[in-house]
A and B are shown apart, each in its own frame.
Chain A
Amino acid sequence: GAVVSQHPSWVICKSGTSVKIECRSLDFQATTMFWYRQFPKQSLMLMATSNEGSKATYEQGVEKDKFLINHASLTLSTLTVTSAHPEDSSFYICSALDRASVGELFFGEGSRLTVL
């Protein structure tokens, strides 16, 4: 089956630094990717929708200057958490829509960010 890979799977950084998380679709082309964040014991919250070659669409309450999303190719989207603070510590998960198979949405393994 289709695989979505995230990297890194976990990262620890100092407050004030920026962290980039990659999301790759390994065996299919994804015109659309979605970024979620999840706090402990809570459900996934959609942050933004990333379309290849265009600007991401952010959900209400998500700072676009804080969470930079780039979707430069059909197999790669990146999320950069800029000037990270401890409250940004969370589990970040991406998902990718297989454009060849309408409706198929696959998830990455998630990236755990800890900001000290």
Chain B
Amino acid sequence: DAKTTQPPSMDCAEGRAANLPCNHSTISGNEYVYWYRQIHSQGPQYIIHGLKNNETNEMASLIITEDRKSSTLILPHATLRDTAVYYCIVRAILTGGGNKLTFGTGTQLKVEL
């Protein structure tokens, strides 16, 4: 799976949009961009994923650059409960296996009043 690079930490004011960047310059054509987050001492929570088009769901938006070498996760109105470590992962979706997720170090997002 392609390697990702994320800033180790970010701060955001409550109510503001949190924009979390991720570089994945070696991504290949069949690899998706996934975002998970982990709140302290819990299992990772799925947020969103995409291939090349921008995606939006009830939690967040995912903006993928045209060359697919980077992406940004946007939490439109961050709350204190969004404080967590956010992981950007790229992986191929394969039939019959090989779908493991390899976690990098992630970005610790701290939302403050």
| A contacts, CB < 8 Å to B | 4, 6, 32, 34, 36, 43-46, 49, 51, 91, 93, 95, 97, 102-103, 105-110, 112
How many inter-chain contacts with C-beta < 8 Å in the A-B complex?
A: 52
**Interface assignment of B9: CB less than 8 Å from any CB of chain A:** no
Q: A103-B32, A110-B41, A112-B41 are in contact. Are A49 and B100 (CB under 8 A)?
A: yes
Chain B binding surface, main DSSP class: loop
B residues within 8 A CB of A105?
Answer: 46, 99, 101
| B contacts, CB < 8 Å to A | 32, 36, 38, 41-46, 49, 87, 93, 95, 97, 99-106
Chain A binding surface, main DSSP class: strand
Taken together as a complex, chains A and B put the C-alpha atoms of A51 and B95 apart, in Å, by: 13
Taken together as a complex, chains A and B put the C-alpha atoms of A42 and B38 apart, in Å, by: 11
